[in-house]
Amino acid sequence: MTTQKVQPKLIIHGGAGSSLKSKGGVEIVRKSLYKVLEEVYALLLAGESARAAVVRGCHLLEDDPRFNAGTGSVLQSDGQIRMSASLMDGITQRFSGTINVSRVQHPIALAEALQSSPDRVLSDFGSAELVRELQVPIYNPLTDIRLQEWMQERDDNFNKEMAGVVAEKELVTDSSAGRGTIGVVALDSHGRLAAGTSTGGKGFERIGRVSDSAMPAGNYANGYAGISCTGIGEDIIDECLAARIVVRVTDGMSLAAAMNRSFTESRDRKRDLGAIGLDAMGVIAWGKTSEVLLAAYHTGEQMGDTLEWTGDELTGFVC
């Protein structure tokens, strides 16, 4: 870790899944992601901490109904929305999260509030009590598209295993192949790392199912690297993907090598997942075994994304 001023870096994602239906779909998602990049990177340039930047980025992505987190979250099998989120501050080594919370606009805000609590991960009942304690306004994250999606699946007796990757019908080729989550990883000008992840879940799942997004398996950071995951939550949990990559970097592997090894193992075990990451040196990296990873990044000099990255390579990186 360094105490010298460094160039801030930022990477975000809006989920993973099957291919976007058209170039128009790609451009719509790109516009949404780049808008978030521009606002959050400006905060980093102004001196905000990595943790504050991550929380703000998650807020913005949770407010975008195209993504399955916050507004636009999918419905579970009983027609209710239950969301999960977590925040990891790489400097303090504190992980906090909320599991299956309902009727809030920003689940990541609850995770942030829990950073200073001795009890840092709360389930549905505990999260509901925290909402009351914080006097968080009641909010309905339901969108018409998500309701229509659930009603159609109800009529089909919930044959699909999960809902679509983005809440725009024209952007989805196969709604059964979506893995909707949002995530942000930031490196600030003091070399501090943080990671945050938020999700509405798989959609149509059994009541009480817990995603990876509120676990170190799906969201983890320390002073060496930060990772946010997306994909099939159970696959991410089985791989303990975020923590595995961070531990490998901590033990001396480069971020690129740690990502490549972890995704090679995941592919060999037929996992369906993706991840974004940053290390303390400012290397930006990503990986996927799914067809598409909806990620975008800011190097300090330019913005880029992975929306049309469909090559044979499992991972990629920029410095």
Gap between the Cα atoms of 58 and 55, Å rounded: 5
Q: How distant, in Å, are the alpha carbons of 26, 137, 298 from that of 220? A: 28, 29, 20
**Contacts of 270 by beta carbon, 8 Å cutoff, 6+ apart:** none
State the Cα angle at 139 between 138 and 141, rounded to 5°: 155
DSSP for 134-166 reads HTPPP-----HHHHHHHHHHHHTTS-SSS--SB
Q: Exactly one of 98, 143, 181, 315 is catalytic; which is it?
A: 181
Distance of CA 33 to the CA centre of its chain: 12
CA dihedral (148, 153, 156, 157) positive or negative: negative
CB distance 16 to 199 below 8 Å? no
Is 289 known to be catalytic?
no
Q: Quote the Cα angle for 226-37-282, to 5°.
A: 40
What is the DSSP code (8-state) at residue 172? B
Spatial distance between the Cα atoms of 30 and 62, rounded to a whole number of angstroms: 16
Q: Which tokens sit at 98? A: 């909320």
Which positions are annotated as active-site residues? 181
